[in-house]
Every structure is written in C-alpha cells, then in structure tokens.
Amino acid sequence: MNFPPAVTADLPLPADGGATLDALARRAAELEVVAQVSLAVTTILNSAELLQTVVDLTQERFGLRLVTVGLLEADGRTLRLAAGSGEIGRQLAVTRPAITLDQTPSLVAQAARTRQSVVVNDVTNHPDYWAHPMLTSTRSELVTPIVLGDRLLGTLDVQSEELNRFGPDDVRVFNILAAQLGVALENAWRFEEMNKFSAELEESRHFLNSIFEKIPTPITVKEAANLRLVRVNKASEKLIGWKAEEVVGKSNYDLFPREQADLFAATDRELLSTGRMVEVPEQHIQTAGGDLRLIHIRKVPITDRYGKIKYILGISEDITERKQLEQTIQASWERRGRQVQVSTEVAQEIAAAPALEELFWRVVDLIQARFGYYYVQVYTLEEDELRLQAGSGEVGRRLKKMGHKIMVNNSLSIIAQAAQTAVPVLVPDVTQEAKWLPNIWLPDTRCELAVPIQLQQKVLGVLDVQHHTAGGLTPEDQLLLVGLCGQIAIALDYRRVDVRRQQVENQLKKSLVELEINNRELQEFAYIASHDLQEPLRKIQAFSDRLQALYGDVIDERGQNYLHRLRQAAAFTQWLITDYLTFSRISAMSQVYVNTDLTAVIHSVMDDFEASILESEAIIHIADLPVIEAELSQMHLLFRHLIGNALKFRRPDTPLQIRISGEIQPEWDVCQITVADNGIGFEQHHAERIFRVFQRLHGRDVYESTGMGLAICRKVVERHHGRIQASSAPGHGATFTITLPLRQPVGDDGASGTQEPLNS
C-alpha cells in the first residue's frame, strides 16, 4: 500500500555507523510496539475505548510527552480532539478543542489539509507551530493523517520533549500505526452502527407487541385455513384462564367441551361463507378452571391484500359481570516492516471482501503469497466441529470440495486444540510432536501454527499456517497472525451481522405488513366498538332507568344498592369506551390545521363546564393566549381534559383556582401554554406515569376516572409536534406546560393555516 509522504525538511541526517545500528535496534523495537498496539486494539469494538487505548499505549511504549487523535467532523472542515494520553490528554479531551483545516499556524491542520505527515524537530524555531499553554516542554512534534482509502478520518499527533526526536523511520512507523488505526476505527464504527440498528428494531417489535397486549378487550386471532389459534392477548388469557403458549396452535375442540366447540365452529364457518362479521350476543364458555362464563362475541374477517380471508378476529366481552379489561535487527526490521505492511494490506482486503466465501479465499491466498508459507487454511467453528472454509492452492480447493472438517474434541489436532483453549498453538517441529494429526495431502509440513479467530472471548474459527521447514514459524509469526485474526474476526462477525441485518430487514418488511393489518384491525375494532359494543350498554342503561322509574318504590334497600351499582358500572363502561375511542381516533384522524384562537377555545371549554365551575366556586384566570395553527377539535379536547382534571382533583377545604397563561417564544417559533391549579397535586416521580394509558393515581372509589384523559392530552400535543410536561407536589396543586409550534411543519397533513382565525 502507499503511505502518505512526509514533509522532511526538518528531519535529522543519519548518524555514523554505530549510531545506525543503535537506530536500527530502536526501530525494530518501535515496530514491535506498533505490532503490539495493533494487536491490542483489534478486539476493541467501542470507538472511544479504541482511541484511548491507542494513545495510552503509544505514549507508554514510545516514551512520548503526549499522543492525541483528532477526528474529522461531518462538515469535512473541522478536526476535533477525540482522545489524549496521560493527565494532560484527558484534560484536553474533556473540552474537546477543535480546529479548521485552513487554520494557521497549526501543524495538525497542515497535515490534515495536505494529507502528508508533518515533522518538526525543533518547535521553538518553527513558524507554523502553535504552543499550547499546557505543553510548553514540547520540543519535537510529528503529525500523521489517518486516511482510509480516499477518506480523511483524522490525525495522529505525537509530541516529545527531546529535540530531533523523529526521523524518517519514525514517519514510516507512525504511518503504519495510523493506517492500522484507520481500519480499526472503520470496523468499530460499523459495529456500533449495527448494534444501534438492532436495538431500534427490537424496540419496534416490542412496541407492536405492546399495542396488541395492552388492548383491554379480550381478542383472539385464528388462522382461517385451519381454525387454530395463532394469537391471544393478555385480556383473553385472563378471561379463559389459559396462558397464550397453552392455546396457540389449538382448535376449539382442543379447549372446550364438544357442544361449545360445535357452536364456535358453526359461527366460524358462517363468517367464512358470508365474509361478514358474525355476532353472538350470548354464548357460554367454559374456562380452564371449569367456570362457566357468559360472553358476547363478535367475529370479524381479516383479509389479505387480495381480499381473501386470512384470519378470524374474535372480540369478546364478558357479560357475566359486565366486562373485564385490562421486550535479526535489519532483517528483522525489514521482515517486521513487511509483516506490518502486509497485515495492513490483508486487513484492507478483508474489509473490501463483499461476502464471507470471498473473504476466506482472499485471506488464505494473500497470506500465503506475502509470507511464503507452505499452506494456509481457515476453519469456522460450527457447534462441535471445525469446517474448512478455504485453503491455499490446489490442495485447499480439493479439501474444500471434499467438505473437510475436524471434530473439536480431536486430541491429535492442534487446530481443534486452539479452538478448545482459545490460545494459539505453535508446533516448531511436527516430527517431534506426539499429538499431531498429519494430512496426507500435505506431506511436506514440518512446522504448524494454529491461531484462534475470536471476538470478545468467543471463538469463531481457526487460522492455520504451515511451513515446510522445522522452526520456520516463530513467535513473531504468531504475534502477526493473532493481529490478523482479530481483523478476520471483526470482518467475519460483521459479515454475519450483515446477513442478520438482511434477515432483520426482511422481518421488518413483514412487520410493517403486519402493522398495516393491525392498523386495519384496530380501525375495524374502533368501528365495532363505536357501533356495536355501545349498543348493549345503552340497553342496560335504558332498562335500568325504566326499572328505577317503574319499580324503584317496591325494591328493597339491597336491591336499590344493586341497581345503583349496575347503573354506575354501565355509565363508567360507556365513559371508558368513549375515552378509548377518542384516544384511538386521534392518530387516524386527518389533520386540518387552521388558525386557532386558543383564548376562544378556553372560553368554549369553560362553557362546557359551566355547572361544575359554579358548583365548585372555582376561580379561573385566563391570560391572552396566541393564535396558532392547530386542529380545532383536538385543541378543545386537550384543554377540556386539563381543565376537567383541575375541577376533579381539587381540595375540598380550599377554593379552587385555575390559572391559564401563555407566551410566544419567537426564537423557537413556538408558544408555551401553562395550566396551573391549587388542587391535591401528586408526587413528582409520577409525572411521566400519569400520561400513560389506563394509569390512575387514585382508586375509582376516591376519584372517578378512566385513566385515559392525560394520555389523550399527550397524544393530541404530540400529533401537533409539541410537548407536554407536568410538575407537582402533594397538596400544592399541579402545573401542566404545553409547548406547541406556532405553525405546523410544511408538508404535514392538513391545511397550511391560511384560513382566518377560528373563535369557536
């Protein structure tokens, strides 16, 4: 590969012969350090940890004053400090100072701008050096650009307290280190991106499941083809007494007495033949505990995109008790230099391989060609066996075609031993090794080295190299190959993650289709609830009213109590259904944004509560509120619930006061509305919980509530691209702060707000 050239005007001249040998020894040691640093970072997949490890190891092993890494920001013009060594480096990293590429004087900006290493061996006499107040002892500085392909990633800056510290060999050493760092950074960033993607997908799946599970009405889903259950929600589990895993895959005849199962099957067949909803007003069902419950059932056909009935959606209501609801020096130096350079080439080849199979073949062919090994092969660990994925030359291709594999428990195989122990195994002379498994296709093997391919202490496979000369493989080869195996492990894991990503994408597409089906189901459910579920309630309310009117005088006290409780339960259920429908319809409603006078909205809401306000003797202070783009009916709904809450949760011994105020924040193009009262208040740690569906802080016997009001408020506010927050303390009232944009985003559904303000 080609390394960035260096600005060499300030490099020291070579010394005499003796000094040259010393320099070579020092250079070899430095290359050893480069290999060690490279090895240390190959298994680090956190970019911040990776950078900190590099700067700390580089400072320690090279005896430097300071080592820092700056990364290029997304604007392509700014370098910002990402990591620094030692105490000074950590202090600098806290403030994360930045420079632009055109900044002068700056050696770092010059190196990044020119993509060439910059060396200054006497900074006190250099016009482009800028002295940091914390680094007055610096005498020499070398800045190397970090480049991957044609992309500038950042800079590696090393500083020393020695004059003339850096020579041409140092430039090459740090070029190699910067190249290794660039590859490691790219791998770490990719790994972090995939982790983030997986977490987001899991959150989406959890969200979809939560919607289904949180619906308080018992719901079941059957496969239309075989009439077997595929899904039941928590409310259904509570009704029938079986867990979901106990009923999924079973038919009516597996769960209920034959007489009941026949009735269920008959209604299923009726639905499949007519394609229309089937309603069974009264049907007995025997639960897992043997209890007999009387339920009201509606069965709805769920069709696929072609109109064919795919599922049968069952919506049940337990009417027995009126309903229940609820994720060597020069030679060594040259060899070491070649090894490090080749390891970089191999790492880049690994990164460039588009697929796993090509990755393995590139690795074995390149390692054999560059290092002159007799044979190179790669195995992957598959449960209790090691499968050959690629081998160099004709022998490797023959063995691959034969499906060659080694059992992990094979005591004669050093490849199996490396996989079992997760430690490299080096056999300098196989003829002297009792536990060694020969291969008839490789008769000239005399030395073998097996290195585990592992990531985060998990063995993924083994890289095996063989030499035709006893002692032909050394600990230096082992050190090099361990570093390469780290790169292979990352690439292997990344490719596997990529395959998983494709599977996840396919699953996401499937989930989106399911979500579309669920949305249709919810809309159908809302329709059923609004037109059918409420009808029995109306009858109960009507008959209970007639019962009270006609026979109230002859019913004893206990009967009066039962009748009163019946009417209360029916009224509460009606209230609950109405609130749930309101909540469900907010997202489905098309937004028609118009200029809305919030002051007028408040007065309209007060008219709704006129009787309650007079009864409670509430004092309401209303400041002038702004005109904003909003959906009028939803604004009315928002303030109706907020003011209604204040009227409901008042203190009996204190006159109620409600203050409604607002202000425009022009710098953000938003308005902030505050609704504050002096009611009973609540603990601040409940400030998030109260906005969740079906959440109540008090029992119904204390304060009548469905637990939907504030959830509706949040949904309305978020639908308008705003935010609602609550603050409170017990006995000190509650304050709700609503932040809404003055104008809705361009391109959002609905009108653009060009109509005249609405005042009612």
pLDDT tens digits, residue range 452-503? 999 888 899 999 999 999 999 988 888 888 888 888 888 777 777 777 778 8
Q: Is the predicted pLDDT of residue 697 greater than 90, yes or no?
A: no
Structural domain includes residue 181: yes
Asked whether the beta carbons of 312 and 268 are under 8 A apart, the reply is yes
pLDDT band at 626 (very low <50, low <70, confident <90, very high): very high
Which of 626, 596, 520, 597 shows the shortest CA–CA distance to 750? 596
Q: What is the mean pLDDT of residues 679-696?
A: 82
Q: Between 423 and 590, where is the model more confident?
A: 423
Asked whether the beta carbons of 158 and 152 are under 8 A apart, the reply is no
Amino acid at site 172: R
Distance CA 202, CA 8 (A): 53
CATH for 612: 3.30.565.10
What totals of helices (H) and strands (E) does the chain contain, helices first? 20, 25
Q: Six-digit token pair at 79?
A: 């370098």
Which of 659, 690, 589 shows the shortest CA–CA distance to 630? 589
Query: Torsion over CA of 211, 215, 218 and 220, rounded to 10 degrees?
Result: -20
Which of 627, 631, 636 shows the shortest CA–CA distance to 608? 636
Structural domain includes residue 512: no
Structural domain includes residue 335: no
Dihedral of alpha carbons 366, 371, 372, 376, sign: negative
Structural domain includes residue 287: yes
Rg value, the chain, Cα: 37
Distance CA 283, CA 218 (A): 15
Residues 307 and 364 in one domain: no
Asked whether the beta carbons of 58 and 69 are under 8 A apart, the reply is no
Distance CA 576, CA 584 (A): 12
CATH for 55: 3.30.450.40
Determine the pLDDT at residue 579.
57
Distance CA 106, CA 509 (A): 50
Asked whether the beta carbons of 122 and 140 are under 8 A apart, the reply is yes
Determine the pLDDT at residue 437.
82
Cβ-count burial of 261 within 10 angstroms (0-12 exposed, 13-18 middle, 19+ buried)? middle
Determine the pLDDT at residue 678.
93
Distance CA 740, CA 627 (A): 11
Determine the pLDDT at residue 325.
45
Distance CA 378, CA 217 (A): 56
Which of 397, 453, 403 shows the shortest CA–CA distance to 423? 453
Distance CA 349, CA 358 (A): 10
Residues 358 and 298 in one domain: no
CATH for 256: 3.30.450.20
pLDDT band at 701 (very low <50, low <70, confident <90, very high): low
Q: What is the mean pLDDT of residues 700-715?
A: 73
Give percent of the chain with pLDDT exceeding 90.
Answer: 25
Please tell me the least confidently modeled range out of 203-212, 437-446, 611-620. Answer: 203-212
Give percent of the chain with pLDDT exceeding 70.
Answer: 80
pLDDT band at 734 (very low <50, low <70, confident <90, very high): very high
Structural domain includes residue 200: no
CA distances from 154 to 53, 55, 110, 293, 318 (A): 16, 14, 12, 71, 66
pLDDT digit string, tens, across residues 555-572: 877 877 777 667 655 655
Residues 162 and 252 in one domain: no
Instruction: Look at residues 170, 186, 202 and tell me which one is the last residue of a structural domain.
Output: 186
Residues 438 and 361 in one domain: yes
Q: Is the predicted pLDDT of residue 95 greater than 60, yes or no?
A: yes
Query: Vertex 725, ends 723 and 730: CA angle to 5°?
Result: 170
Determine the pLDDT at residue 220.
87
The neighbouring-strand residues paired with 671 are: 664, 740
Distance CA 56, CA 276 (A): 71
Residues 156 and 236 in one domain: no
Structural domain includes residue 746: no
Residues 449 and 535 in one domain: no
Distance CA 110, CA 128 (A): 9
Residues 18 and 121 in one domain: yes
* CA neighbours closer than 13 Å in the CB half-sphere of residue 7: 21
Residues 171 and 258 in one domain: no
Cβ-count burial of 590 within 10 angstroms (0-12 exposed, 13-18 middle, 19+ buried)? exposed
Residues 492 and 359 in one domain: yes
Distance CA 354, CA 352 (A): 6
pLDDT band at 246 (very low <50, low <70, confident <90, very high): confident
Q: What is the DSSP letter of 123?
A: G
What are the strands of the beta sheet with 405-407, ordered from one edge? 405-407, 385-391, 375-382, 458-467, 447-455, 425-427
Determine the pLDDT at residue 2.
45
Determine the pLDDT at residue 756.
42
CA distances from 389 to 462, 494, 498 (A): 10, 17, 18
Which of 295, 343, 400, 424 shows the shortest CA–CA distance to 176? 343
Query: Vertex 639, ends 635 and 640: CA angle to 5°?
Result: 110
Q: Between 343 and 157, where is the model more confident?
A: 157
Give residue for tokens 């990531």. Answer: 455
Amino acid at site 533: L
* CA neighbours closer than 13 Å in the CB half-sphere of residue 216: 18
Q: What is the mean pLDDT of residues 431-456?
A: 89
Structural domain includes residue 336: no
Which of 41, 8, 29, 49 shows the shortest CA–CA distance to 486? 41
> CB-based contacts of 573: which residues, under 8 Å, 6+ apart?
322, 323, 537
Amino acid at site 688: E
Distance CA 459, CA 384 (A): 12
Determine the pLDDT at residue 78.
92
Q: What is the mean pLDDT of residues 619-643?
A: 91
What DSSP string describes 505-521?
Answer: HHHHHHHHHHHHHHHHH
3-state secondary structure of 575: helix
pLDDT band at 144 (very low <50, low <70, confident <90, very high): very high
The neighbouring-strand residues paired with 672 are: 663, 739
Residues 534 and 625 in one domain: no
Q: Six-digit token pair at 554?
A: 């002859």
3-state secondary structure of 154: strand
**105 conformational bin, left if phi > 0, alpha if psi -120 to 50, beta if neither:** beta
As for how many domains the chain has, the answer is 5
Global pTM exceeds 0.85: no
| Domain of residue 562, residue span | 522-575
Q: What is the mean pLDDT of residues 628-640?
A: 89
Would you tell me the crossing angle of helices 475-528 and 356-371 to the nearest 10 degrees?
170
Please tell me the least confidently modeled range out of 253-262, 319-328, 706-715. Answer: 319-328
Query: By 3-state DSSP, what share of the chain in percent is helix, strand and coil, each rounded to 5?
Result: 50, 20, 30
pLDDT digit string, tens, across residues 305-363: 888 998 989 888 888 876 544 355 676 677 667 667 766 777 677 666 667 788 888 88
Cβ-count burial of 128 within 10 angstroms (0-12 exposed, 13-18 middle, 19+ buried)? middle
Asked whether the beta carbons of 347 and 358 are under 8 A apart, the reply is no
Total Cβ atoms within 10 A of residue 98: 13
Residues 238 and 375 in one domain: no
Residues 362 and 460 in one domain: yes
Structural domain includes residue 378: yes
Distance CA 685, CA 683 (A): 6
Determine the pLDDT at residue 512.
76
Mean pLDDT of the chain: 82
Instruction: Look at residues 448, 471, 504 and tell me which one is the last residue of a structural domain.
Output: 504
Determine the pLDDT at residue 3.
42
Q: Between 105 and 27, where is the model more confident?
A: 105
